Amino acid sequence: MDSADHSPPRAGSGRLPRLRSMPAPFRITVLATVALVCVLAYLTFGVSGDIAYVASRRSTVVATMVLVAFAGAVSTVLLHTVTDNRILTPSIMGMEALFVLVQTCLVFAFGLAGLGALPPAAAFLAQAALLVLFAVLLFNRLFTGGIGSLHLTLLVGIVFGVLFTSLSQLMQRLLDPNEFTALQTRLLARLTRADPEILPWAAGVAAAVGVYVWRRHRMLDVVALGRDAAVNLGVDHTRAARILLVLVALLVATSTALVGPLTFFGFMAATLAYQVAGRHEHRYVLPVAFLVGLCTLVGGQFVLEYLLGHAGTLSVVIEFTGGSLFLYLLLRKAAR
C-alpha cells in the first residue's frame, strides 16, 4: 500500500507545508523525541523529599497516560477506518454512556460502601466485558441479521447512547446527595487518579490489540479504501469491520475504566495525526496518533501541574479544545 502520493485523501492538502516536506519516519522520530522529553520533564521536575514516593506516583501517572493515549488514539483511527468517516468518535456508539450507566447502577444498587468493597481489577474486567458484550451484540445483529448497514449501526449506537444517558440521569436523581456527589467525582475524567492495580490488566489489553493491529496494518489500508474496493481486493470487509469495532470497544473500555470518559481526546489526536503524518498508511498514522496523544497528555499535565500550579484540570481543557475542533470540522464539512 505504499503510495507515491504522500498526502492523505481528506487531510486538507496544502496545510503544514514545512512539515509535509519531511519524510514520515523523520516526523515520527521528532514526535517520539518530544514525547520522551515531556515524560522525562514530568518525572524529574522539582523532585524533592521522599523521592521513592514521588517517583512511584509520577511513574503511575505516566503509565496511565501512555495507556490512555494509545487506547484513545488507536480506537478513533480504527473507527475512522472502518466507517470511512473522520468526524465520528467512539463515544457516538454509546460506549461511554454505557460506562456512566454501569457506574450509576453500581452506586444505586450497592452504595458507595459496596462499590468500594469491589476489587478494582474485578470492576475493570467486568466493565470491559460489559462494553465488549454490548458491541458484539449490536454489531453481530446488524452485520449478520441481513441488515448489514454501518450507518444504521451508528444510528443505533446513538439511540442507545441517549437511552443509557437518560437511564443514568433518572437513577442519579434518586441517589442520596452524598452518593450523587461521589458519583460525579468518579465520572469526571482525572488522569492522575488511576488505580495501579488495574494498570497491568489495561496494559495487557492494549498490548494484545496493538500487536493484532500492527500485524494487519496493510489490511487496514485496504479497508480504508471502502467496502467495494476492499471486497474486490480479497478482504472480507464484514468480518474485518466486526473485528475492528470489537477492538474499538476494548480500547474504549480500557480508557474509560482507567480515567473516566474522554469524549474528544481520541478525535483530537487522530485529526492532528492525519495532518502531521502526511501519509494515509496506518503504519505511519497509528504511531503518529499515539505520540500526538502522549505529548498532549504528558505535556499538558506538566504545564498545568508544575508551571501553572494546578490551575485547572487537563481533561476539561482537552474536552473544550477537542469539542471546538469537532464543531469546526463539522461546520466546515456542512458548508461544502
Residue 36 belongs to some domain of the structure: no
Residue 1 belongs to some domain of the structure: no
Q: Which pLDDT score, from 0 to 100, does residue 107 have?
A: 81
Q: What is the pLDDT of residues 153-177, one digit of tens each?
A: 667 777 888 888 888 888 888 888 8
Torsion of CA 127, 110, 172, 175, to 10 degrees: -170
* Mean of pLDDT values over 101-121: 75
User: Cell 462499590 sits at which residue?
Assistant: 115
Residue 148: pLDDT over 90: no
Residue 43 belongs to some domain of the structure: no
User: Which amino acid, one-letter code, is at 257?
Assistant: A
* Mean of pLDDT values over 229-245: 86
Residue 26 belongs to some domain of the structure: no
What distance in Å separates the CA atoms of residue 163 and residue 48, rounded to the nearest whole number? Answer: 49
Q: Say which residue, 115 or 96, is predicted with more confidence.
A: 96
Burial class (CB within 10 angstroms; exposed 0-12, middle 13-18, buried 19+) of 32: middle
- The number of domains in the chain is 1
Asked whether 128 and 257 are in contact (CB, 8 A), the reply is yes
List phi, psi (to 5°) of 266: -60, -40
Which range is least confidently modeled, 4-18, 148-162, 246-260? 4-18
Mean pLDDT taken over the chain: 80
What distance in Å separates the CA atoms of residue 86 and residue 270, rounded to the nearest whole number? Answer: 9
Distance of CA 126 to the CA centre of its chain: 19
Residue 16 belongs to some domain of the structure: no
List phi, psi (to 5°) of 14: 95, -5
- List, in sequence order, the alpha helices (H) in the chain: 17-20, 24-44, 51-83, 95-117, 120-144, 150-173, 177-187, 199-215, 217-223, 227-232, 237-259, 265-277, 282-302, 314-335
* Mean of pLDDT values over 72-95: 82
Residue 132 belongs to some domain of the structure: yes
Residue 34's pLDDT band (boundaries 50, 70, 90)? very high
Q: Say which residue, 105 or 220, is predicted with more confidence.
A: 220
Residue 4 belongs to some domain of the structure: no
> SS3 string of 234-259?
CCCHHHHHHHHHHHHHHHHHHHHHHH
User: Which amino acid, one-letter code, is at 192?
Assistant: T
- Give the domain extent around 280: 51-335
Q: What is the pLDDT of residues 290-327, one digit of tens each?
A: 999 999 999 988 888 888 877 777 878 887 887 787 77
Q: What is the pLDDT of residues 38-54, one digit of tens each?
A: 999 988 887 777 777 88
Residue 9 belongs to some domain of the structure: no
Q: Say which residue, 1 or 188, is predicted with more confidence.
A: 188
Q: Which pLDDT score, from 0 to 100, does residue 110 have?
A: 77
* Torsional sign, CA 86, 210, 137, 145: positive
* Mean of pLDDT values over 270-294: 90
CATH number at residue 204: 1.10.3470.10
What distance in Å separates the CA atoms of residue 305 and residue 230, rounded to the nearest whole number? Answer: 47
